[in-house]
């Protein structure tokens, strides 16, 4: 239990020194606040600065600051202004990080003024609820994941059926929750005259018939339009909040690995090519976009340049002119997603409204990502960051790298399998 007098006494001693304070904790009534920075202003006042990892201010930041201000004013501190300090998305790192450019301070005093008066009554409501014997009845809704994922989801969502209306493709969540609470929790419970778009119709037909839906004409048209050799390409990227390499910005996607399967002719055996940015442990973590050995980018040029996605390729060219060798100078022709998949020309009920590779591959081919040490993009990014900037041993480095190579290769080999399976269905 936090002892109010002890906490406040400690913080008050620091207050009297009139120096900036980090995470100064105060208790007022039932509320405890610890702002990131308290900055002394003049002889008696303070500014609150809350530091966030976002690139703009959000409504929930204002609520944070309102609570902090409520507490600090409650113990007698004079608060002049409230700021959110967040990342500046326009910042481009060139050499050492310049903190004054990396961060932007936004004055949200007026927004805090608008809500701070309600904090006391909101706190009373919360204390009353916390004191109840039973948790209040609450319907699941948008609040379960906005602004943050609620940790009680596993409990509150366990009764949600697998094929609920919340899985309907491209549905507005608000509308889906309305259906859910109006007695149409399952997709098959939706009234037949519910207005839905073409893809949603396919999904509903699949659920009602419990069978995969195949549009053979559309599949044939898609498959006949493919020009060999086919290139199946996938990237893995990291997007750190603090740019770790030159000429990158906060949260910029930096590719560190790709996998490429090439099928030269119909029915041909796929050839695999891969690239993995050499991660070095601190302090010399090397930019994975930079040519690792001179011949490699040149050798891959003719295979890769036609396949790189336009936007990412353009980003690379801008960030790293020397990378032109690898990504080519012009637009990326003939590059497109596996259009038959997002268009639902094939759709299996187990896809649950998704056209992602992770959903389609097992539903269509029976193969998938089970038992893989790295089985999704987020884990892949974390793995690369750990072996590049963390304290990973050489053995862990090898293990993570092998898992990353296996995962990325499966992403592109999976696309080869999908095209083969679609071809059998046409
Ligand atoms: S998951 Fe959290 S937000 Fe959603 S209903 Fe349950 S307690 Fe409320």
pLDDT digits (tens, 9 = 90+) for 270-287: 999 998 887 555 445 677
Q: How far is the CA of 185 from the centre of ligand 1 (A)?
A: 17
> CA–CA distance from 261 to each of 71, 274, 277 (Å)?
59, 9, 18
388 CB burial (10 A radius; 0-12, 13-18, 19+): buried
Closest CA to 247 of 282, 297, 287: 287
Mutate to test the pocket of ligand 1, among 60, 137, 140 (most ligand atoms within 8 A of CB): 140
Predicted confidence at residue 7, as pLDDT, reads 61
Predicted confidence at residue 303, as pLDDT, reads 46
Predicted confidence at residue 37, as pLDDT, reads 97
Q: How far is the CA of 367 from the centre of ligand 1 (A)?
A: 34
Closest CA to 235 of 172, 290, 289, 297: 289
User: Domains of the chain, with CATH numbers?
Assistant: 9-125 (3.40.1350), 162-211 (no CATH), 219-425 (3.30.420)
Q: Is the pLDDT of residue 3 over 60?
A: no
* pTM score, whole prediction: 0.80
* Residue of 258 and 310 predicted with greater confidence: 258
Mutate to test the pocket of ligand 1, among 144, 148, 158, 177 (most ligand atoms within 8 A of CB): 144
Predicted confidence at residue 15, as pLDDT, reads 83
Per-residue pLDDT of 104-130, as tens digits, reads 999 999 999 999 999 999 999 999 999
Predicted confidence at residue 329, as pLDDT, reads 37
> CA–CA distance from 247 to each of 230, 312, 320, 385 (Å)?
33, 15, 8, 18
Query: Residue 207's Cα: distance from chain center in Å?
Result: 29
Closest CA to 6 of 21, 22, 27: 27
Per-residue pLDDT of 363-405, as tens digits, reads 999 999 888 899 898 999 999 988 888 888 889 989 999 999 9
Confidence of residue 327 (pLDDT cuts 50, 70, 90): very low
Structure tokens at 131: 């004191």
Predicted confidence at residue 321, as pLDDT, reads 40
Mutate to test the pocket of ligand 1, among 134, 138, 160, 177 (most ligand atoms within 8 A of CB): 138
Q: What is the mean pLDDT of residues 167-172?
A: 97
Is the four-CA dihedral 24, 26, 31, 32 of positive or negative sign? positive
Residues 61 and 58: their CA atoms lie apart, in Å, by 5
Q: What is the mean pLDDT of residues 83-102?
A: 96
Q: Is the pLDDT of residue 333 over 80?
A: no
Would the CB of 144 count as within 6 Å of ligand 1?
Answer: yes
Predicted confidence at residue 168, as pLDDT, reads 98
Predicted confidence at residue 5, as pLDDT, reads 65
Residues 226 and 143: their CA atoms lie apart, in Å, by 44
DSSP assignment letter at 387: H
Which residue spans within 186-314 are E strands per DSSP?
213-214, 230-238, 254-263, 271-276
CB 386 within 8 A of CB 400: yes
Q: Is the pLDDT of residue 331 over 60?
A: no
Q: What is the rounded average pLDDT for all residues in the chain? A: 87
Q: What is the mean pLDDT of residues 330-349?
A: 76
Predicted confidence at residue 288, as pLDDT, reads 78
Would the CB of 138 count as within 6 Å of ligand 1?
Answer: yes
Instruction: Say how many C-beta atoms besides its own lie within 10 A of residue 384's C-beta.
Output: 24
Residues 155 and 178: their CA atoms lie apart, in Å, by 20
Q: How far is the CA of 200 from the centre of ligand 1 (A)?
A: 27
Give the closest residue (by CA) to ligand 1 atom 1.
153
Q: Is the pLDDT of residue 295 over 60?
A: no
Predicted confidence at residue 305, as pLDDT, reads 47
Q: Which atom of ligand 1 is nearest to the CA of 138?
A: 5
Residues 282 and 208: their CA atoms lie apart, in Å, by 55
Would the CB of 142 count as within 6 Å of ligand 1?
Answer: no
Would the CB of 140 count as within 6 Å of ligand 1?
Answer: yes
Would the CB of 12 count as within 6 Å of ligand 1?
Answer: no
């Amino acid at each position: 239990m936090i002892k109010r007098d002890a906490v406040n006494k400690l913080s008050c001693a620091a207050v009297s020194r009139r120096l900036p304070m980090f995470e100064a904790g105060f208790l007022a009534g039932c509320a405890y606040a610890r702002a990131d920075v308290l900055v002394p202003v003049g002889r008696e006042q303070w500014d609150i600065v809350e530091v966030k990892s976002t690139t703009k201010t959000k409504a929930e930041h204002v609520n944070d600051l309102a609570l902090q201000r409520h507490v600090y004013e409650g113990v007698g501190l004079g608060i002049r202004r409230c700021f959110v300090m967040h990342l500046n998305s326009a910042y481009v790192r060139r050499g050492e990080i310049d903190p004054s450019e990396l961060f932007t301070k936004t004055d949200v005093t007026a927004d805090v003024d608008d809500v701070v008066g309600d904090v006391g009554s909101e706190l009373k409501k919360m204390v009353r609820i916390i004191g109840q014997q039973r948790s209040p009845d609450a319907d699941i809704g948008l609040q379960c994941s906005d602004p943050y994922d609620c940790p009680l989801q596993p409990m509150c969502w366990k009764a949600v059926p697998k094929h609920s209306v919340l899985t309907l493709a491209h549905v507005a969540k608000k509308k889906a929750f309305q259906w859910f609470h109006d007695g149409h929790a399952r997709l098959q419970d939706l009234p037949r005259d519910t207005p839905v778009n073409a893809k949603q119709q396919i999904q509903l037909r699949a659920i009602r018939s419990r069978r995969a839906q195949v549009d053979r004409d559309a599949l044939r048209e898609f498959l006949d339009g493919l020009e060999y050799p086919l290139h199946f390409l996938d990237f893995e990227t990291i997007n750190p909040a603090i740019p770790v390499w030159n000429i990158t910005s906060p949260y910029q996607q930096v590719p560190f690995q790709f996998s490429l399967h090439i099928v030269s002719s119909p029915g041909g055996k796929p050839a695999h090519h891969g690239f993995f940015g050499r991660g070095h442990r601190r302090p010399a973590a090397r930019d994975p976009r930079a040519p690792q050995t001179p011949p490699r980018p040149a050798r891959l040029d003719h295979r890769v340049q036609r396949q790189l996605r336009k936007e990412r390729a353009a980003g690379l060219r801008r960030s790293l002119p020397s990378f032109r060798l690898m990504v080519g100078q012009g637009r990326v022709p003939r590059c497109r997603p596996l259009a038959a998949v997002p268009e639902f020309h094939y759709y299996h009920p187990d896809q649950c409204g998704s056209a992602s590779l992770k959903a389609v591959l097992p539903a269509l081919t029976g193969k998938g990502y089970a038992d893989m040490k790295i089985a999704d993009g987020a884990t892949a990014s974390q793995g690369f960051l750990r072996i590049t900037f963390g304290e990973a041993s050489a053995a862990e480095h090898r293990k993570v790298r092998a898992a990353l190579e296996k995962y990325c290769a499966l992403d592109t080999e999976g696309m080869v399998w999908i095209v083969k399976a679609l071809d059998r269905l046409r």
